[in-house]
Structure 1
């Protein structure tokens, strides 16, 4: 036999065969994720278009994006999260307990820009879409699973979070999705680990972990769930009674006063305020009522409790980021209901229910943030973009600047920014939005700055019908 013939008939070397076997196993493992990943990618594209339209039109919903940008900048430089927007020398770990946000540091180091945080949030939430879609497809079939995954992607709680811009709950959403999907798969260790991480995202989520542990105990009938509950409760107490008061300038948990239990006891009917009732009904509606038949829905109770106990109406409704953590819960509960009642629900009915959830999601989208995408020119106008860019150009890099929320998120990555509503040291620059004022003085920025900082002189460097910029000479 010739050398060529011998080589052709010899078996493949063991290393090559092992490599092909590993590649084959990897392909088999990834294959079930192809469709869910597609659903998640489409969701990411939708979220990114919305965020880009907001950014391009200088639409800033609150000061949160600026606050977390300053946090990420500090972490990227291996510094504590001192956030001047909250006050001079203010450590944000004394405001809310979110040590896990330290992972933003390396990302921000590579991409030092406020828009980076929007991209990070969109990726995290879109990943949760893929997780929910994968879980639904695995247990309910492709059509129903894709329908539920798409409905979840369009759910009003996620829309409101994307619209509100970056917040720490961006990390809680995928953790909950991973934990609850693992729970439905009876992968108890994975469910435990992903749920346990929630305590490092926000202090109130320790109570959510408490209920996840109780639900796990009910399902797995092991002590592991009770240990998870103890972990969640322990971190909630430690964060709110020890860590946050120790790091807060007021030596207290900043949000404790908002839990008005006495007010509820004196007026129990306040729990049925129309806005609160609508929020609960909206949670039920997006799952066409299916979440009501699963014990997983109990996991929404801690979040709804602190929100509805508060006297602040902003917590009661469907806006802002407060409901985002509820979305993985009610959709996992809907999947659980369809799984456990499989003998009573035919394949056709499962498909109809999945399609109904998607239809509800699409219809409700017109009433929430994504409805603005139907008329981007109206809701994301760029008529003032030139004025905004000119005002920003009047503020050089590396200076201190006091401003309102109008352009703060466009300044934080290159300047030290203070919010105009706090007691701040005299900044080098002041930038204010005067578009909503009547009969405003052409040098209002300088005059008001000198009034806030007696003994300091300011002179105008930019003014038009929308913005004014003044600086110390």
Structure 2
């Protein structure tokens, strides 16, 4: 729905669309959107941005349908499939009734809704693999649990932090201490290997996403600061208060039951990665929007189930705790709480009639895209980019800079909606005027959409 009504965006849908298309063509996962900031039209491998070889599993789907719609459907299927091993996990711990209700609560949870609303991300694989991982631990299958943890590492390099946290949690479970130690050591080693060896081999800068300058210039300096001034942690966790609201919305619907389980150390480790960030560039990590919380929602649900089961066992028949409700009732309360907040997040749009109709400018957007030839390099307005990504080489529309003065031979501009790489709509209009002065000709203009092309022979 959002794709066909021009409410998606280049970031990150086109980036992943280009990368998976590279795999589908039996090549590297190259993205011209990522490479454009180095040189116009150049491509940068996604393996140098994040180590996510798991995306290659989606390549065969592009042989059926080549386009970002495939990613959107695949993500929905992956999120939904996670409910099956999770149901098995809950049934074994709390019974069939709790299994059904909590599976529904997971599917309707706001982290999943917000991730779907953000179109696509490699975290789509995480709930399914996490559910299998915890179910295998519950079943006592050590090697299969280790294998699931290994698969998780192939989704994105920072999930090594999750594996480290889970390993630390398993040290508190006597029969799983050896496995926990292996996960802890293996996760830490893989994080270093991916960050400082594998990704740099694909052109990555290890400090690209270092948003912790309050703590230090690098991990070693930051760790020293954390150990020497631990009280600073409380201040950073509460600043801005967006972090506290996110933590509350993650744990309150689960009645804070994850905190009763050692499994909670896994999602808490990933949360620490986000909430201990101090720089403005990490602002998106702190809130409830986007895909970040989809990486931990299944682990929180599994930890809540384990916490409820532990609470029930610990209080059975004891005064005054024997009057506490059963684990099944606790699960039902958790489910009701999770479902009650559905209208306040992305799924709430489904109940708004105004969400369904296409924008009045959609017809103009479709006509503007028709003027762009197949296979050309084109700078595209953000909302239109995904809809033309399958047949052109898309980069984000942005004004020239000193480091990248070249412009694409085709431009599809939007003079009514603010674009990510412009300070204002006025700056967008000024860029279009500059392009006209440089000799670009107008192929289309209607309702704010403008299509320009360079007629010079070198641009075809």
Q: Aligned ranges for residues 70-469 of structure 1 at < 5 Å?
A: 70-86=18-34, 87=36, 88-219=42-173, 220-248=175-203, 251-258=205-212, 260-262=214-216, 268=233, 269-273=235-239, 274-310=241-277, 311=279, 312-343=282-313, 344=315, 349-378=326-355, 381-421=358-398, 423=404, 425-436=406-417, 446-449=432-435, 457-469=439-451
- Higher Rg: 1
Structure 1: runs of 5+ lacking an equivalent: 1-52
Question: CA–CA distance in 1 between the matches of 2:260 and 2:426?
Answer: 58
- Taking structure 2 as the reference length, the TM-score comes to 0.83
SS of match in other structure, 1:340: helix
Q: 1:384 to 1:129 in 2, by over 3 A?
A: farther
Higher helix share: 1
Hey, what's the Cα distance between the residues in 2 that align with 1:114 and 1:239? 27
Q: CA deviation at 1:179?
A: 0.4
Q: After TM superposition, give the deviation of residue 351 of structure 1 in Å.
A: 3.4
| Rounded Cα–Cα distance in structure 2 between residues aligned with 1:155 and 1:175 | 18
**Deviation string, structure 1 residues 248-279 (Cα, Å, up to 9, x no partner):** 26x43421344642498685413212111111
Moved more, 63-72 or 390-399: 390-399
Q: In the aligned structure 2, how far is the partner of 1:320 from the partner of 1:190?
A: 31
Q: What displacement does 1:292 show?
A: 1.6
Counterpart Cα distance in 2 of 1:460 and 1:373: 39
- The alignment's TM-score, normalised by the length of structure 1, stands at 0.81
CA distance in 2, matches of 1:195, 1:141: 26
Change (3 A) 1:405 1:327: same
Shift of 1:174: 1.2
Where does residue 12 of structure 1 map in the other structure? none
Q: Distance in 2 between matches of 1:222 and 1:442?
A: 58
1:22 corresponds in structure 2 to none
Whether the 8 Å contact between 2:9 and 2:385 is mirrored in structure 1 is no
- Residues 180-211 of structure 1: CA deviation (Å, up to 9, x unaligned): 12212222222211111121111111111112
Partner SS, residue 30 of structure 2: coil
C-alpha RMSD of matched pairs (Å): 2.6
Distance change (3 Å), C-alpha of 1:380 and 1:338: farther
Is 1:401–1:417's contact at 8 Å kept on the other side of the alignment?
A: yes
Q: Decide whether the 8 Å contact of 2:101 with 2:335 is kept in 1.
A: yes
Q: Residue 430 of structure 1: SS of its match in structure 2?
A: strand
How far off is 1:424 after superposition?
7.2
